Amino acid sequence: MTVTHPQGFSAAGLTVGLKPSGKPDLALVVNDGPADAVAAVYTSNRCKANPVLWSEQASADGRARAVVLNSGGANCYTGEFGFQTTHLTAERAAALLGVSPVDVLVCSTGLIGVGGQDFRDRIVEGLPGLVEAAGAEDAHGRSAAEAIMTTDTVAKTVALQREGYRVGGMAKGAGMLAPGLATMLVVLTTDAAVDQEVLDRALRAATSVSFDRLDTDGCMSTNDTVILMSSGASGTSPSEAELTEAITQACLDLTGQLHVDAEGAHHDIAITTRGAATVADAVTVSRAVGRSNLFKAAIFGEDPNWGRVVAQVGVTDAEFEPTAIDVAINGVQVCTGSTPDADPEQVVFSRRVDVVIDLHAGEESATVWTSDLTHDYVEENSAYST
C-alpha cells in the first residue's frame, strides 16, 4: 500500500518514453478529498531545478490538489524553456483535473541538463492518459511509485493505520542523498482532518529526524522535494503530537528503504551519538563520523577501527570530554573512556553496521545513516542523476 492508502487520493504511473529503458516514467497523485492542505520542504541547494522553483511558489499558499512527477530527466539548468515546461505541465494537468494550475506541484528526477522539446512533448502529451489512468486502488499507487524510480532497484512505499485515519507515501532515491531540508523525491498523503499549519509543523519535525539525517554519499540534489498532502476525508482530527508521530514514522520507514538501496554501498551504517549535551551536538558528531572517508574505508574493509571514530569526534565543536568517549560497533564495546576495551576482533560484520558513541556530556541522542561507497564505484559513477 502506498499514497492511495488514505481516503481521498488517487494515483497513476505510465510510460511516455522519457527513459531509454521504456520503463514507467510519469506519475500523478491527486487529492480528491474535501480538504486541500499541503506542506512541503525543498532542497537547500542554491542551484535549484525548475520544478522546485515552480513548486515552491505554488505551495506557498498551503494548498494543492495534485503532484505530477517524472523520471528520465531533471529539467534542471534547462533555461527559461525548462521553467516554461514545468509551468505548462501544471497548466495542462490542472485543465484535465479541473483545478487551478497553482494547485498542481511538479517534481522531476533524472540527469541534470535534460529537458528539451522532446522531453516537454512527451510529458504534456502523456498527461491525458495519465489522468485517465488514475485510480484509488493499491495497484495505482504502486504504479506511481515505480514511475519515479531512476537508479532505484525497488519501489519505496509506506502505509500506516492510525486511530481513525491513515498515512501513505512513496519515495525515490538511491544516489545524491545528503541532508538539506529534504533528500530525494517523496510524496506523503493523509486523510486526517488538520489545519495546514499543523500539517507543516508535523512535516518539518518529521523530516528533521529522518531524511535530514540520511547522508549516504555527501551529494545534495538540485531537485529534492518532500510533499505532504491532507485530504481530510477521514473526518478524524488527531492532535498535533499524534499526527507528528505518524508522519515521522512514515518518514523513518522511507528513510530506511532509501538507505538500504544506496548505490554502490557494501554496508548500511547507522551512527548513533548519545550522552550529548544537545541534539545538535549529537547530530554534529554522528554526521562528522559518517562523512569521514577514513572511517568508511575501515568499515568497507570490515576493520572495527574505533580510533577513526574518536579522532573524528575531536574535529567537532560538540561539548564533550576527550578522555571520556565510549564506542561500540555492532554491540561490541571496543572503547571505554577513550581507551581500548573489548578485542575489536570480536566485532561481527554484516550488511548493517551499528556504531554507538557515548559522549557522557548530557542526555540527548541522534542517529545519522550513511553508507560505505567504494572508490571504484565513485569513479565509475561520477555523473550522478538527481
Q: Which residues are catalytic?
A: 183
Question: H or E segment at 33?
Answer: none
Question: Hey, what's the cell of 75?
Answer: 529539467
Question: H or E segment at 275?
Answer: strand 265-276
- Centroid of chain to Cα 67: 16
Residues ≥6 apart with Cβ < 8 Å to 141 = 1, 2, 3, 4, 5, 9, 11, 157, 168, 170
Question: H or E segment at 347?
Answer: none
Dist CA 136 CA 168 (whole Å):
12
Alpha-carbon separation of residue 295 from 235, 269, 313, 368 (angstroms): 50, 11, 11, 14
DSSP summary character for residue 316: S
**Angle at CA of residue 27, ends 168 and 82, nearest 5°:** 125
Alpha-carbon separation of residue 211 from 42, 181, 206, 225, 254 (angstroms): 11, 8, 8, 11, 8
